[in-house]
Amino acid sequence: MAKEIGHEIIHISDPPQNMPFDMAKLQEADVAIDYSGPDSAVENIYRCFDAKTAVVIGSTGWYDMLPAVSEKCVQHNGTFFYSPNYSIGVNILFKINEILARFMSSFGQYAAEVHEVHHLKKLDKPSGTAIRLANDIINNSEIYKNWVCLPEGEQISTQITDMPVYYLREPDVVGIHEVKYFSDIDELSIRHKANSRKGFVLGTLIATEWIIDKRGIYTMSDLLNF
């Protein structure tokens, strides 16, 4: 898709496919895109800082290192853009979720849950998108203080201030995320289902074009002006 809209790809690094990393090529690039995975994302970000190359991160599962990465970005006057999900629809879901959480915080009779379903090769559990949804509920709620990760269908006693985040892995599922509020009398939910990976690719390329002439740390909220 990058080539289709006029971009040139000067290097691809994929060690499992015997495509090694090339620092010289990285230094030539305007922007690097990383979807390598949680075990290598931070190292790749640091390589981009050293190369003075902006980087767009699609990998999740490394956010515990975000403070350190942000500090190093400032030290190197670097540029990186990160998001747990680059789908425009999912980022609209994020915004709706924040607003809904503020409303629902006033109604203690409703309990909240987050559910996510992904393909079998998805490494992190729960997904970065589900974690973002859960954290945004907690940050906008007077009820919940923590979230607890559980396999779909498993029931574990939690504190009233703990919110369950359920995950499920099935074949050929691109990604489904749902936030549910339920009481004894009714249920309210917001849901996003990705029908293909093109939405992630499109959002990534929009971020890539947007960040070229910038310095600093950015997210989809900055791009979409939310």
Which residue in this structure is represented by tokens 């390598």? 36
Collapsing DSSP states into helix, strand and coil, what is residue 136? Answer: helix
Burial of 213 by CB count in 10 Å (0-12 exposed, 13-18 middle, 19+ buried)? exposed
Burial 64-92 (b: 16+ CB within 10 A, else e): eeeeebeebbeeeebbbbbbbbbbbebbe
Q: Which is the catalytic residue, given 7, 11, 25, 122? A: 122
84 upstream amide cis, omega within 30 of 0: no
- Active-site residue 95, yes or no? no
Residue 136 Ramachandran class (φ > 0 left, ψ -120 to 50 alpha, else beta): alpha
Cα end-to-end span (Å), the chain: 26
Whether 132 contacts 92, CB under 8 Å: no
- Active-site residue 122, yes or no? yes
Give the residue numbers annotated as catalytic, written as ranges: 118, 122
